[in-house]
Amino acid sequence: MNDSHFKAWILPALGAPLRLEERNMPEVNPAGVLVRIESAMVLSYMEKVLNGSTKYAIPQLPFVPGTNAIGVVHSVGADVSHVAKGDRVFLSPRLIINEFAESPSQILIGLTAMGASRFDGIPEDALRLQNIWRDGVFAELAHWPASCVTPLHGLNHIPSERLIALAKLIVPYGGLLRAGLRPGQTVAINGATGFYGSAGVMVALAMGAARVIVIGRNGAALNSLAKSLGPRVKPAIVSGADAQKDASAIQAATDGAVDVALDLLGAASSTTTTLATLRSLRRGGRLVIMGSASVPLEVNFGEMLSNDWEVVGNFMYPNTAVASLANLIASGQLDLSPIRLRRYAFVDLPQAITAATSMKDLDLTVIETLSRK
């Protein structure tokens, strides 16, 4: 990268190999920021996005994929005041249009536009927004809207390849914020050995949970997670066949009942363990759903009313969440060392995308683009 050119990985067509190209330095949008990318996260399902099997509403081709990064500000637009040249920043892909509308359009930069049912029925204004902010972070330089750029204070001592763990942690953090988790409470996490579920355990501990119940069917994986993250983590091994028995197993791990719960199952073919997690809640408890399933969650009206339960769907996290999560790291309350890094050079992105498909629990695949100066 120099003052006039930079390299970027381009997807020319769905299913086609990524192509490394040299691009001209863009003129910064008045509401935009140019960021030199230091490290970027590779999603476990990025390969499926690029071959079209996820059916996402990707940007017009060709485009630069990639959703989250750590970098240093190269320059800022005339209307930007919260970051300046030289600032270290985190790039978050969720962009919601800043207009007075009942349902403001939103996109995930470098990934997909979004509709009322996530990736179907995409409104025209979301597609227009996506055309303006088309390219992601698999490049030496990213041009992003200022509202998706968060300055990172007090974290200069953490290498970028480690700090990009923010991208793994921020999603479950948004769910735990929505759950209203308070210090001293017991939280249950369904899908705890998954990519985001394991990160949710780390965040819940940092937020002061007295006990984190990790739910799953793989006892060895749950016990390994508990060993890695400490004595406040309690495994609850479930069968996935009987919701009531599984709820009892979860409650047995708590020595009582769960205050709040987070469901992070991905592409589940059954919601039995989700129902069991709901039934493990104390009266007035809240279940936040952030995962996905191919079948409905069948809840009983009588149970819901008698127990004052809440079931809440939550997508991503509020704009302020990155800064507050970064503060947990800066203060030492959130230790990033349990995350297992899989590090790849920028030129090896295709190999990294393939390797990311096998990630589990505390794994994180990282592209290192530039060394810090």
Question: At residue 228, what is the residue type?
Answer: S
> What is 169-313's CATH number, 3.40.50.720, 3.40.50.300, 3.40.1410.10, 3.90.1640.10?
3.40.50.720
Q: What is the pLDDT of residue 98?
A: 76
Q: What is the pLDDT of residue 120?
A: 66
Which residues are within 8 A (CB) of 205 and not within 5 positions of it... i.e. 6 or more apart? 212, 229, 230, 232, 233
> Per-residue pLDDT tens for 160-181?
999 999 999 999 999 999 999 9
Taking the domains of the chain in order of start, what are their residue ranges?
5-165+339-368, 169-313
Q: What is the pLDDT of residue 263?
A: 98
CB 204 within 8 A of CB 187: yes
State the pLDDT confidence band at 208, using cuts at 50, 70 and 90: very high
Asked: is 5-165+339-368 a CATH 3.30.300.30 domain? The reply is: no
The average confidence (pLDDT) of the chain is: 94
Percent of the chain topping pLDDT 70: 97
Q: What is the pLDDT of residue 119?
A: 63
Whether the pLDDT of residue 372 is over 90: the answer is: no
State the pLDDT confidence band at 257, using cuts at 50, 70 and 90: confident
Which residues are within 8 A (CB) of 373 and not within 5 positions of it... i.e. 6 or more apart? none
Q: What is the pLDDT of residue 373?
A: 44
State the pLDDT confidence band at 11, using cuts at 50, 70 and 90: very high
Q: What is the pLDDT of residue 197?
A: 97
Q: What is the pLDDT of residue 187?
A: 98
> Per-residue pLDDT tens for 98-142?
766 677 889 999 999 988 666 667 888 899 999 999 999 999 999
